[in-house]
Amino acid sequence: MIQITNVIKDYTLASQVYRVLNGITFTIPEGMLAAIVGPSGSGKTTLLNILGGLDSPTAGEYLLNGRDVSHFDPDEWAHERNHTIGFVFQSFQLIPSLSARDNVALPLVYRGVPARIRRIQADEGLERVGLGHRKHHRPAQLSGGQQQRVAIARALVGDPPVLLADEPTGNLDHATGLEILEILRQLSEQGKTVVIVTHSAEVAQVCRQVIEVQDGHIVTNTLEMEQKV
Ligand SMILES: Nc1ncnc2c1ncn2[C@@H]1O[C@H](COP(=O)(O)OP(=O)(O)O)[C@@H](O)[C@H]1O
Ligand SMILES: [Mg+2]
């Protein structure tokens, strides 16, 4: 479960302070399929990066599965991400020179997992996203949708309970985007907490919780609306 309270994020550029997140509070329950929506520049990526510990809040509290991670340093976050969080990006972020299998296995290298077990787990991950027959292909030999599947398999290797995706369908055609969304939806049904930053109303519509951000504020949180009824 993700709980953030009064999160503020300031960036300072040329001694001018810009408040990008201005008191964000929400809860995303375990196993939720959640969307973060809002106009370009509203702070969605900043928020997602804070949820994944890639960026740190200026102020506010963050509880991840009941643990206060607000003051984690980069090393603590690296450790936490290894166990708890998988990331998926709009531009896939695969290593061009590595096969699909080796891309998926890469996080396991950093975790000191032996090669044979890495291979088994990577192949299982590729099967899970329907790419068992493409393990020796390099990214350039795969379609965009297939590359994003590889990236999802990589995010899932080691079985983290939380998956954070920044515009995961943004570089894909409509039909392929919906296929990727369906994979993410199924993962949430299997108990993963999945948070998707998206521009697409169609993607948001499939998500049970939609958090709308504007100018660093939350303007809607459908889960809170549900709970008030
Ligand atoms: N590292 C940074 N330094 C300074 N300003 C930043 C940085 N990252 C993002 N911003 C600013 O914060 C605002 C929100 O950015 P972002 O979170 O990327 O928005 P979104 O993902 O909703 O388009 C933008 O105005 C952007 O210019
Ligand atoms: Mg963004």
pLDDT of residue 225: 78
Pocket test for ligand 1, best of 13, 20, 218 (most atoms within 8 A of CB): 20
How many whole angstroms from 153 Cα to the centroid of ligand 1? 28
pLDDT of residue 199: 87
Give, in degrees to the nearest 5, the angle at Cα 63 between 61 and 67: 125
Q: Give the separation between CA 142 and CA 134, rounded to whole angstroms.
A: 8
Atom 26 of ligand 1, nearest CA residue? 41
How many whole angstroms from 224 Cα to the centroid of ligand 1? 26
> Residue length, the chain?
229
For the chain, which residues score pLDDT lower than 70?
229
Query: What contacts 24+ positions apart, CB below 8 Å, involve 149-152?
Result: 149/180, 149/183, 150/92, 150/94, 150/100, 150/103, 150/104, 150/126, 151/88, 151/89, 151/92, 151/93, 151/94, 151/103, 152/88, 152/180, 152/183, 152/184
Q: Is the CB of 13 under 6 A from ligand 1?
A: yes
Atom in ligand 1 nearest the alpha carbon of residue 197 = 21
For the entire predicted model, the pTM comes to 0.94
Q: Give the separation between CA 157 and CA 152, rounded to whole angstroms.
A: 9
How many whole angstroms from 135 Cα to the centroid of ligand 1? 36
Q: Give the separation between CA 112 and CA 116, rounded to whole angstroms.
A: 12
Q: Are 34 and 207 in contact (CB under 8 A)?
A: yes
pLDDT of residue 229: 63
Atom 2 of ligand 1, nearest CA residue? 11
CATH of 31-49+79-228, one of 3.40.220.10, 3.40.50.1400, 3.40.50.300, 3.50.50.60: 3.40.50.300
Q: Give the separation between CA 156 and CA 216, rounded to whole angstroms.
A: 30
Phi, psi of 115, rounded to the nearest 5 degrees: -55, -45
Give, in degrees to the nearest 5, the angle at Cα 160 between 54 and 166: 45
Q: Are strands 162-166 and 2-13 parallel, antiparallel or unpaired?
A: unpaired
Which residues face 85 on adjacent strands?
A: 162
How many whole angstroms from 172 Cα to the centroid of ligand 1? 23
Q: Give the separation between CA 196 and CA 118, rounded to whole angstroms.
A: 27
Nearest bound ligand to the CA of residue 14: 1
Query: H or E segment at 67?
Result: strand 67-68
- E strand intervals along 70-161: 85-89
| Domain ranges for the chain | 31-49+79-228
pLDDT of residue 111: 86
Atom in ligand 1 nearest the alpha carbon of residue 216 = 14
Q: Is the CB of 214 under 6 A from ligand 1?
A: no
Distances (CA, A) of 147 to 122, 155, 209: 14, 12, 27
Which residues face 24 on adjacent strands?
A: 7
How many whole angstroms from 221 Cα to the centroid of ligand 2? 19
